Amino acid sequence: MSEIPVYPPSPEFVQRAHVKGMAAYRDLYERAKQDPPAFWADIARKELTWFKDFNQALEWEAPFAKWFTGGKINASYNCLDRHLATPRKNKAAIVFEGEPGDRRFITYQELHRLVCRFATVLKNRGLKTGDRAIIYMPMIPELPVALLACARLGIIHSVVFGGFSAEALKARIEDLGATVVITADGGWRRGKEVRLKDAVDESLKEAPQVRDVIVFKRTGSSLEMKAGRDHWWHDLDAELSKDPQTEAAAERCPAEPLDSEHPLYVLYTSGTTGRPKGVLHTTAGYVLQTMMTMKWVFDLQEDDVYWCTADIGWVTGHSYIVYGPLAAGATCVMYEGAPDYPAFDRFWRIIEKYRVSIFYTSPTAIRAMIRQGDQLPNSHDISSLRLLGSVGEPINPAAWDWYHRVIGKGRLPIVDTWWQTETGAIMISPMPGATPLKPGSGTLPLPGIIADIVDSKGEPVGENREGYLIIRQPWPSMVRNIWGDPERFKQQYWSRVPGCYFTGDAARQDEDGYFWVLGRVDDVMNVSGHRLSTMEIESALVHHPSVAEAAVVGKPHEITGQAVCAFITLKRGDWNHADLGKELRQWVAKEIGAFARPEEIRFTDALPKTRSGKIMRRLLREIVTTNAVTGDVTTLEDLSVVAKLSSQHDED
Ligand code: PRX
């Protein structure tokens, strides 16, 4: 551990930072630790705008938390309306660049107008508080507009990442019981159209509860509109302008005063079973913590230009493109397309063009950039940058070093932010004006976050020992439930260590108390910072008529961190492995989405199992990692299977 370099913040950074120096961090942390609910209540009153003050900071009947009960609030109001009475009203909220190069600059005032109009459109379709909307859109400004319009009325939204297939979309529409789908004809990715409306049509073949599909025209390509069900966004919007009174009222659509705990959104994420789980986030606590972390972690200042490169289809986009930054009054860059289109310098071009000062991306993106050499970033003026961030997976030292040296010119702080869909907001991260950095460590928990590392009995493991990362106390932006499945919620997160949240990650803490997150301990893979469930891909594969059994594991990958590797046993028949390999990869793309496609498929006669019939994924992981097997194999049903698996290697 002693060889790891330590980078203290520069005096210039400290001077301007919200939290200046370690003493200030420790002070804040200790104050919060004394009484976390009181700490959060204090800042909730100071930082959020309430329609009605709350009575109690926290009602905690483990594992069900209610934050700020009795309060009335609206997330959309906190992201928009309250800025309009300040000089921020004419500040850019969204700086948008489409992949083809089109641009839009949307001020807070204008964003408010767009959100009010679209909320009125939803109201006119008969939608009301408590209804559910599925949003399946490209990364264009109408996506945050749709989120904030739903939030304005208390309609619970669920964004489905545009890379998910019609099958995956259908499962989410059904689980949520959505009555409206908000989509677009398509979006641009690597110069090609990603056709979204076609997938919506496919998914709605058997979904009678969906009454309305609202389609934004982005690409202008031809598509079918089903009479009565499908409506163009611009047609519904044009109806609002039929007379001046109607239009004025639409543009003032009031934000509903909602309970603090009103469900804001459900975001489906992969778990340890074949079925994705709907992570439920509610209003006040979520907005509070995403907003506070904008200040603590990104040290957001009024003149910053902030860019998070995530897609709003994942939690990072929800918390750090929409709710956190807008509640904090930031100027956010939003980019529609791929980082390598038309060339691999698109990110640096965008930073140069809009003078981005805070840049938040993933280790996968960084590794892909490293491959292209230093010359691309070096040929752009990226001197506007003052802070860099990383999220989604552990950042390896080589990637950290490059990010620091080439993008940060050896002087910018890097905040390595650990969190999850379930935590809602960043939990463990440096505060850039305080925390000395160690490459690869998320460093220390933020104020109000009581994290620990324990063994399988729930006992703290102590310094430099590996164990399970847990959170001991509830926090405002925590997952409240799994949509429609409270039993799974209890079992999944709260049964390992009673009263504590189980993250599913392994970690250790060094002699300075720094956290080093090592990765998942469950059957969840992390591919390009996206969560994929081994079971979900397995259950897709076994639906194919040729497949008898499937076992999926993550194998190390230079760029994406992990890649999907599937071991397959086939039903009796005469199969051509090369063709079938291709077909099965395509099959997974259709069942889940192209990003879940196995990189490698290995056909085998049998899978290694314990005597009780459980597939020994640990062995398979070892095989794909080292192509050798070590450790305890005494519970193996048939040892010869292992020898065969190691020698067979059937890549397509
Ligand atoms: O394993 C951890 C990893 O990503 C998981 C959460 O994935 P998801 O819910 O999709 O959210 C991703 C974006 C927040 C975690 O359980 N992870 C995320 N950030 C880091 C990380 N692992 C190490 N270091 C990080 N900074």
Distance between Cα 393 and ligand 1 center (Å): 5
List the alpha helices (DSSP H) in 329-467: 346-354, 363-371, 375-378, 397-402
Q: Give the tens place of pLDDT for each residue, 494-551.
A: 999 988 999 999 999 999 999 999 999 988 999 998 889 998 999 999 999 999 999 9
Task: For a ligand 1 pocket test, name from 281, 323, 526, 528 the mutation site with the most ligand atoms within 8 angstroms of its C-beta.
Answer: 526
Nearest residue to 97 (alpha-carbon basis) of 329, 328, 382, 339: 339
104-259: CATH class? alpha beta
Pocket test residue of 517, 518, 520, 532 for ligand 1, highest count of atoms within 8 A of CB: 517
pLDDT above 60 for 279? yes
> Tens digit of pLDDT for each residue in 123-173?
999 999 999 999 999 999 999 999 999 999 999 999 999 999 999 999 999
- The best mutation among 390, 420, 438 to test binding of ligand 1, ranked by most ligand atoms within 8 Å of the C-beta, falls on 420
Q: What is the mean pLDDT of the segment spanning 477-503?
A: 96
Residue percentage of the chain with pLDDT more than 90: 87
Neighbours of 307 (CB within 10 A): 25
User: How are beta strands 331-335 and 92-97 bridged, if at all?
Assistant: parallel
For residue 592, give the H/E element and its range.
Answer: none
Instruction: For residues 635 and 151, give the distance between their C-alpha atoms in angstroms, rounded to a whole number.
Output: 52
Q: Which atom of ligand 1 is nearest to the CA of 531?
A: 10
User: Rounded to whole angstroms, how far apart are CA atoms 159 and 312?
Assistant: 8
Q: How far is the CA of 419 from the centre of ligand 1 (A)?
A: 5
Q: Any residues with Cβ below 6 Å from ligand 1, and which?
A: 269, 315-316, 391-394, 416-421, 442, 503-505, 517, 519-520, 526, 531
Residue 65 has pLDDT above 60, yes or no: yes
Burial readout 444-456 (b: 16 or more C-beta within 10 A, e: otherwise)? bbbbbbbbbbbee
Please give the average per-residue pLDDT across 283-300, as a whole number.
98
From the CA of 310, give the closest atom in ligand 1. 13
pLDDT-above-70 percentage for the chain: 96
Q: Where are the domains of the chain?
A: 104-259, 528-651
The pLDDT of residue 651 is above 50: no
Whether residue 573 has pLDDT greater than 60 = yes
Nearest to 236 by CA among 173, 145, 318, 155: 145
For domain 528-651, the CATH superfamily is: ANL, C-terminal domain (3.30.300.30)
Indicate the range of 156-170, 403-417, 474-488, 599-613 predicted with least confidence: 599-613
Distance 333 CA to ligand 1 centre (A): 23
- Minimal CA–CA distance to 382: which of 361, 405, 400, 408? 408
Question: Whole-angstrom Cα distance, residue 520 to residue 573?
Answer: 37
Tell me how far the alpha carbon of residue 452 lies from the centroid of ligand 1, in angstroms.
Answer: 17
In DSSP terms, 501 is beta-bridged to 471
Using CA positions, which residue lies closest to atom 10 of ligand 1? 531
pLDDT for position 271: 79
Residue 283 has pLDDT above 70, yes or no: yes
Determine the Cα–Cα distance for residues 651 and 556; give it in Å rounded to an integer.
16
**Ligand 1 centroid to 366 CA: how many Å?**
16
- Ligand 1 mean position to 652 CA, how many Å? 30
Q: What is the pTM of this model?
A: 0.94
Mutate which of 418, 422, 428, 429 for ligand 1? The one with the most ligand atoms within 8 Å of its CB, which is 418
Interval 271-278 mean pLDDT: 83
Q: For Cα atoms 421, 495, 618, give the angle at the middle one, nearest 5 degrees.
A: 75
Best residue for ligand 1 mutational test, from 268, 269, 308, 393 (most atoms within 8 Å of Cβ): 393
Looking from the CA of residue 517, the nearest atom of ligand 1 is 23
CA distance 501 to 484: 19
pLDDT, average across residues 568-585: 93
What b/e readout covers 472-501, taking b as 16+ CB neighbours within 10 angstroms?
Answer: ebbbbbbbbbbbeeeebbeebbbebbeebb
Residue whose Cα lies nearest atom 26 of ligand 1: it is: 418
To the nearest 10°, the Cα dihedral for 180, 182, 186, 187? Answer: -150
Torsion region of 91: left, alpha or beta (phi above 0 gives left; psi -120 to 50 gives alpha): beta
Structure tokens at 267: 């975001």
Specify the pLDDT at position 647.
Answer: 64
Q: How far is the CA of 530 from the centre of ligand 1 (A)?
A: 8
Comparing 52-66, 118-132, 372-386, 513-527, the range with the smallest average pLDDT is: 513-527
Q: Give the residue, by CA position, lying nearest to ligand 1 atom 8.
A: 420
Residue nearest (by alpha carbon) to ligand 1 atom 5? 420
